[in-house]
């Protein structure tokens, strides 16, 4: 089973740690694509700070993020599950899981990254600033770059199991499942219900997805199909409505009324 997570804009900067070594990251098939992305980002941020900030969509108060990117090759690293922060990762709480559940997280989870494509929670990476909708000089769009490289890596990682896609819209564009995988792909959408109204609310969406992943890791059950996943989530206490299967997978709506 493979669970695809979005990254977070906010990241914790490690004070100490080994330098980045792309050869030490999982998904080794991405090493060349990672080096291309890293070179483009470091190159951009090592020249004109203001121009780099504009390209990255940063404001004048975020110029320090340009310097952060310029120093990526020598910056200290830490586990990815300590780098990524925010609502989803707070709700997921990987560092507070028992050893067995954390071991499952290392095997089951993959975090979508603008800089590295995909990373495992245990991969040693530095803090960086790069959104998925940026276009880098000499390389092109970040999303387009990863679309050229992720398919064989994702297929290998999911094997014969189920893929659970929790990525946000920007990062879902990095890789889309082909029709031959559709029967083994479940996409989760979280809807906040108030009275008769349902809507997507970012905070509810992220926190609920984090809690769902935590429940899956703790339970240890590996559903083999979207239907089996919907049934298992129902057993775990979630309210789930299954949508009609599509050419790229099946959407499951999780309905919540409170955070």
Question: What is the C-alpha to C-alpha distance for residues 185 and 5, in angstroms, rounded to an integer?
Answer: 14
E-assigned strands of the chain? Answer: 2-5, 78-79, 109-113, 117-119, 124-125, 135-136, 140-141, 163-165, 185-194, 197-199, 239-242, 250-256
Q: Which of 144, 238, 228, 156 is nearest to 189 (CA)?
A: 238
Question: What is the C-alpha to C-alpha distance for residues 200 and 209, in angstroms, rounded to an integer?
Answer: 12
pLDDT (tens digit per residue) in 60-107: 889 999 999 999 999 999 999 999 999 999 999 998 999 999 999 999
**Helix 226-235 vs helix 202-219: crossing angle, to nearest 10:** 90
pLDDT of 193 reads 82
pLDDT of 201 reads 74
Contact residues for 103 (Cβ-Cβ < 8 A; gap 6+) = none
Question: What is the C-alpha to C-alpha distance for residues 1 and 122, in angstroms, rounded to an integer?
Answer: 17
pLDDT (tens digit per residue) in 193-231: 887 778 877 777 899 999 999 999 999 999 999 999 999
118 burial type by CB count under 10 A (0-12 exposed, 13-18 middle, 19+ buried) = buried
Rg of the chain on CA atoms, in Å: 18
């Amino acid at each position: 089973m493979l669970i695809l997570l979005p990254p977070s804009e906010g990241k914790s900067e490690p004070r100490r740690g080994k330098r980045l070594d792309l050869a030490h990251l999982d998904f080794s098939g991405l090493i060349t694509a990672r080096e291309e992305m890293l070179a483009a980002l470091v190159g951009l941020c090592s020249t004109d700070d203001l121009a780099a900030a504009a390209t990255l969509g940063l404001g004048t108060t975020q110029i320090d993020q340009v310097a952060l990117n310029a120093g990526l090759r020598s910056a200290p690293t830490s586990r990815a599950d300590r780098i990524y922060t925010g609502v989803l990762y707070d709700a997921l709480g990987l560092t507070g899981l028992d050893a067995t559940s954390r071991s499952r997280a290392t095997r089951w989870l993959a975090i979508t990254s603008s800089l590295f494509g995909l990373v495992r929670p245990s991969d040693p990476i530095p803090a960086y600033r790069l959104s998925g909708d940026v276009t880098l000089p000499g390389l092109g769009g970040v999303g387009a770059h990863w679309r050229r490289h992720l398919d064989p890596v994702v297929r290998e990682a999911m094997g014969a199991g189920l893929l659970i896609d929790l990525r946000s819209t920007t990062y879902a564009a990095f890789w889309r499942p082909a029709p031959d995988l559709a029967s083994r792909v479940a996409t989760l959408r979280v809807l906040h219900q108030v009275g008769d109204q349902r809507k997507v609310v970012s905070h509810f969406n992220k926190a609920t997805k984090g809690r769902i992943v935590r429940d899956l890791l703790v339970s240890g059950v590996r559903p083999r199909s979207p239907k089996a996943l919907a049934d298992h989530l129902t057993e775990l206490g979630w309210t789930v409505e299954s949508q009609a299967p599509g050419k790229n997978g099946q959407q499951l709506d999780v309905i919540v009324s409170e955070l």
